[in-house]
């Protein structure tokens, strides 16, 4: 089958693509920016189409010749009119699928009751209904909490449990839900590419366990080898307050945490298991919650997290290209330049650059970075807690704390775009080049202000530039030189013996 996957830069889509390829299907990825897929290990095995789902013409072209289309686009409450944006995108995509002669649309939605839904869940239900009413037969899979390394639900559960041995929690921790392992979600999605017949309906999908959120935190603590957690529900915490609380404790920013918290207020338990008539369960059965947690933790410990929730764009984050020409900004582009010669190989310096952020830090004044991250969290930003997908390697689209990788030229250039809350757009660019037997490390911090507030922001932080950006070249050089020192000493010793 020829399959089209939307949302291939996101958590589910990025894992679905290789599963479809391994199952023998031809895959085309529809993304808004093809460059975001460039560094994916499977990029050379897929076709790509650049289109926004609200663009009827481009979407129709992307769907040409496709048998099964996977619709994995969710706004997670991004922007004031996210409901309208979801509706327009789904309507446009459904019409384009019909014109292109697509055989089936598969949509992954949310498991929820039919009343008292949050705006986010109402929108996901509406998108499913749009596809079920359309001309192309649709399969709508409705899942609750998805458990897997890097999923936003798992990250929220993980950090809440690990960082709070005693928790005063909202009432939603007592709501029942039916979590499902990411492996089972992917198995269901892939299977629908081969199911015969016209099927047009929704299916509830969930794992074998029904638990409250409090139960899930206790089980997580047991699997992770943590002491038993004490959970004290507090009824007065609203979803809004809860989202900020989650945003301060976990890597999940308030803008993403709020729709998740709102959806957890409602019981999310499967009311049917009809999908088994079309996609039989594996001989070993569905993966239970405890095993799903153990598998996720194993992937994290082995540094094998394939995709993360932060792979997708963060609400409110800029998506503008790098303003390489100062004239583009009307003369209002601020640049802080730093450079340093390093007594280390370009490869050693690049290894330091590519491992920046996350547990390795930013080779500068740690307290200043932590303070900036904390202030970003207070205003609903992502802060520093997102970390990295991989501790040593970066690819375009990866998140690194409150930055996004915009460009990687291995061994030469790394460009990061800021996703913190700012009155403007910001980038951090680091590059290396050989020069007269040494390596030159160059660094640019770039800021494009928006309005008077943006200019005031830049000048207010200018006195701290040397503390933050000025120290980075010196510390990057020190780490790279230290890494090269044993090799240099060995070569020097060998040379001396030869001279003798």
CATH code for the domain in which residue 409 is found: 3.30.530.20
The whole-number pLDDT of residue 72 equals: 93
Range of the domain at 446: 326-488
pLDDT at 330: 42
Which residue, of 278, 309, 340, is where some domain finishes?
309
- For tokens 């198995």, the residue is 187
The maximal CA–CA distance of the chain, rounded, in angstroms, is: 87
Q: What is the pLDDT of residue 484?
A: 79
Q: pLDDT at position 299, please?
A: 81
Terminal CA-CA length for the chain: 70
pLDDT at residue 322 tops 80: no
What are the structure tokens assigned to 480, written together? 């790279």
Regarding whether 484 and 355 lie in a shared domain, the answer is: yes
The pLDDT value recorded for residue 496 is: 37
**Which of these three, 309, 344, 368, is where a domain ends?**
309
Q: CA 223, CA 216: separation in Å to the nearest integer?
A: 10
Instruction: Say whether both 238 and 293 belong to one domain.
Output: yes
Q: What is the pLDDT of residue 317?
A: 43
Strand 176-177 with 403-409, pairing: unpaired
Q: Do both 338 and 305 map to the same domain?
A: no
Nearest-angstrom CA–CA distance, 76 and 215: 25
Residues with Cβ within 8 Å of 165's Cβ and at least 6 positions away in sequence, in order, are 226, 227, 229, 230
- Total structural domains within the chain: 2
Distance CA 34, CA 22 (A): 22
Which has the higher per-residue pLDDT, 357 or 305? 357
Query: Do 361 and 228 touch, CB atoms closer than 8 A?
Result: no
Residue 275 phi/psi, 5° resolution? -60, -25
pLDDT at 205 (0 to 100): 96
Residues 252 and 353 in one domain: no
CA nearest to 421, candidates 446, 455, 454: 454
Q: What is the mean pLDDT of the chain?
A: 82
* Any domain includes 496: no
Residue 314 falls inside a structural domain: no
Selected residue with higher pLDDT from 425 and 238 = 425
Check whether residue 77 and residue 156 sit in a common domain.
yes
**Given pLDDT bands bounded at 50, 70 and 90, which one contains residue 217?**
confident
């Amino acid at each position: 089958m020829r399959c089209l996957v939307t949302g291939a830069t996101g958590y589910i889509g990025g894992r679905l693509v290789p599963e479809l390829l391994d199952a023998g299907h031809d895959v085309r990825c529809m993304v808004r920016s093809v460059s975001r897929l460039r560094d994916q290990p499977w990029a050379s095995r897929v076709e790509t189409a650049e289109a926004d789902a609200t663009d009827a013409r481009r979407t129709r072209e992307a769907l040409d010749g496709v048998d099964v289309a996977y619709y994995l686009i969710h706004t997670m409450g991004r922007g004031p009119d996210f409901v309208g944006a979801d509706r327009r995108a789904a309507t446009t995509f459904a019409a384009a699928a019909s014109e292109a002669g697509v055989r089936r649309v598969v949509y992954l939605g949310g498991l929820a009751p039919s009343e008292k839904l949050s705006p986010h869940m109402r929108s996901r239900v509406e998108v499913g209904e749009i596809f079920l009413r359309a001309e192309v037969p649709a399969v709508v899979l409705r899942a609750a909490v998805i458990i897997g390394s890097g999923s936003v639900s798992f990250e929220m559960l993980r950090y809440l449990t690990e960082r709070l041995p005693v928790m005063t929690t909202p009432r939603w921790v007592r709501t029942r839900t039916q979590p499902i392992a990411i492996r089972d979600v992917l198995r269901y999605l892939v299977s629908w590419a081969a199911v015969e017949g016209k099927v047009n309906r929704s299916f509830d999908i969930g794992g074998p366990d029904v638990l409250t959120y409090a139960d899930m935190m206790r089980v997580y603590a047991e699997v992770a080898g943590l002491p038993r957690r004490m959970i004290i529900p507090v009824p007065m915490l609203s979803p809004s307050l809860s989202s900020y609380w989650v945003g301060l404790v976990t890597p999940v920013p308030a803008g993403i945490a709020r729709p998740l918290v709102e959806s957890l207020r409602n019981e999310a338990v499967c009311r049917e298991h009809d999908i088994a008539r079309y996609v039989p369960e594996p001989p070993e059965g569905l993966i239970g919650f405890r095993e799903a947690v153990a598998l996720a933790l194993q992937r994290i410990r082995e540094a094998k997290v394939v995709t993360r929730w932060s792979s997708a764009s963060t609400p409110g984050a800029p998506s503008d290209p790098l303003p390489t020409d100062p004239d583009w900004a009307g003369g209002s582009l601020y640049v802080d330049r730093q450079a340093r010669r390093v007594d280390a190989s370009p490869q050693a310096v690049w290894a330091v650059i590519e491992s920046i952020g996350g547990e390795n830090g930013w080779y500068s004044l740690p307290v200043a970075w932590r303070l900036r991250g904390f202030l970003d969290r207070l205003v609903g930003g992502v802060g520093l807690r997102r970390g990295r997908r991989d501790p040593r390697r970066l690819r375009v689209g990866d998140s690194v704390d409150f930055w996004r990788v915009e460009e990687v030229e291995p061994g030469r250039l790394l460009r990061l775009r800021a996703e913190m809350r700012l009155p403007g757009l910001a980038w951090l660019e680091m590059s290396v080049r050989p020069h007269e037997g040494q390596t030159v490390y160059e660094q640019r911090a770039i800021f494009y202000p928006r309005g008077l507030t943006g200019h005031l922001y830049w000048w207010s932080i200018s006195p701290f530039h040397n503390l933050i950006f000025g120290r980075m070249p010196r510390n990057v050089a020190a780490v790279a030189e230290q890494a090269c020192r044993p090799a240099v000493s060995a070569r020097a010793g060998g040379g001396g013996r030869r001279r003798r």
